[in-house]
Amino acid sequence: MSYSNLETVRSTNLTTLNVWLCNDGDFNTDIQKAEKYLQNMGNFILSSVDFTPLEFAEKMEVKLKRILGQADNTIQEEKLNDCINKIENYKKFLKLNLPAAEKKANNLIKQYKNVTDIKEECLNEMLRAKPKLHRARNLFIKVAQQADKSIFQRGINSYQILWDQLSTNLKIFKDIVKKYPENQLALLLHDPQSFIEALEDGKIPLGGELGALALQRIFSEYPQLTVRQKVSIATLIEKTQIERDTHCNSVALKSEIIKLQLYAQYCRDNDLPLVAWIGSARPVFSMIADHPGEGAYLNCDDAKWSPELNSTWLLIVSSMGYEIKLVEQHYPKVVDALTSGNILNYVSALIDEIRPFRKEFDSQYHGGDQPTATPQEILRLMSIGCKAKKNDDGSVSLTPPKSWVAEDYRSRKIKGLPQKDNIGRESQDVGVSRTRRHSVAFFKGSAQPVKKSLFEHPGESEEIRKNEKPKL
């Protein structure tokens, strides 16, 4: 079975960045944009798209030196020289740390490929409708049981454990499943026959977190399926190219791993908290605008984004010990379910938010026929053992179990007083939680019905990207 990374031809964040780097526009606008990228090293690293931060620095330096002769006065010239000097300082850090980051990225890509190759073999065997699927399925399960697990093997194991928990509690969800027959989460918790029929009808896509969990259910239950059901699964694989949903773009993945490694090193060197942000498009972009460089986020080329890339990014962030902050406020009952540490409580809370499949019922948790992006990300994080806590500012964070952290980049010297980092950025109050702007203000004042695009992942929401700093 072959697969390819077909990319939609459209204007993306990468094409927009390349156009700016390669062309000269309004002089003052160019300076303002450069200053925005160069606010601090962390923001600069995370702003890079597809190419390495060092390549980004070199490309920007070429542009700024090219337009230096266009300066009309000494103020403009000083601003440009200040930007160029910052780039020179950033390049020193990047040249020193990029080789190690690339090496670690290559190792993680290799581990990822090992697991996806096994998944590919499972799909191939199901495509041929083999009656028992012994070899590939057993290999897929065993790889998750090895003592020396990679983060990707642990990810397989965690969804297997989650499905085992859910499968023994299906009766709890029986009524809600019948009430909302079009909802993907409800269909995932249906009886085997109805589940297979939903797959055949295309009601349960195998991309995203729900899709990954559905695929885990298929692997688990395959030996017990009837011959007709196995043929149905084979037909589904043949017609829908499931493999496209179970792989991500390796170029984008490597780029994101490199940025995570460099950003983590930057935080450790400067005693800054190691934080990653997750949430839907509008609040994530608001945090980037209001708190540049204070949290990592997935910033791949929009054309290469996929649910699988997003899921893989979450696993890698967890393995590096990032504190994962939810940038939206959440309903009290959802927070209670999160902080309980019981994933069944969380699934139950999501099921309680299922609504009829009508546009006017889209909400923070309900996106038409499935939960919105952020609740699915939380499901992935809880499944691998991340624990939720409520912060003093009302936000919620998830932290990975220590046993999952391959290399801890968190600083042991984070202080609550203003301090200078190694590249001259003043970092105020970095050791304590601060009150941050949350999307709850937007929810209170938004028109109904709420646009579904507002709850999409940033990589999917081209509409939100058009406004660099959306107003809440």
3-state secondary structure the chain: CCCCCCCCCCCCHHHHHHHHHHCCCCHHHHHHHHHHHCCCHHHHHHHCCCCCHHHHHHHHHHHHHHHHHHCCCHHHHHHHHHHHHHHHHHHHHHHHHHHHHHHHHHHHHHHHHHHHHHHHHHHHHHHCCCCCCHHHHHHHHHHCCCCCCCHHHHHHHHHHHHHHHHHCCHHHHHHHHHHCCCCHHHHHCCCHHHHHHHHHCCCCCCCHHHHHHHHHHHHHHHHHCCHHHHHHHHHHHHHHCHHHHCCCCHHHHHHHHHHHHHHHHHHHHCCCCCEEEECCHHHHHHHHHHCCCCCECCCCCHHHCCHHHHHHHHHHHHHCCCEEEECCCCCHHHHHHHHCCCHHHHHHHHHHCCCCCCHHHCCCCECCCCECHHHHHHHHHHHCCCEEEECCCCCEEEECCHHHCCCCCCCCCCCCCCEECCCCCEECCCCCCCCCCCCHHHHHHCCCCCCHHHHCCCCCCHHHHCCCCCCC
For the chain, give every domain's residue range.
Answer: 13-102, 106-245, 252-465
The tens-digit pLDDT sequence of the chain (472 residues) is 333 343 444 578 999 999 999 998 899 999 999 999 999 999 999 999 999 999 999 999 999 999 988 888 889 999 999 999 999 999 999 999 999 999 999 999 999 988 888 777 777 777 776 555 555 556 556 555 554 678 888 887 788 888 888 888 888 877 777 777 777 788 888 888 888 888 888 888 777 788 888 888 888 888 788 888 888 888 887 776 666 667 889 999 999 999 999 999 999 999 999 999 998 888 889 999 999 999 999 999 999 998 889 999 999 999 999 999 999 888 888 899 999 989 989 888 888 877 655 555 555 555 555 666 788 899 899 988 899 999 888 889 999 888 777 766 665 665 443 344 444 444 433 332 222 223 323 323 233 333 444 445 555 544 444 444 433 3
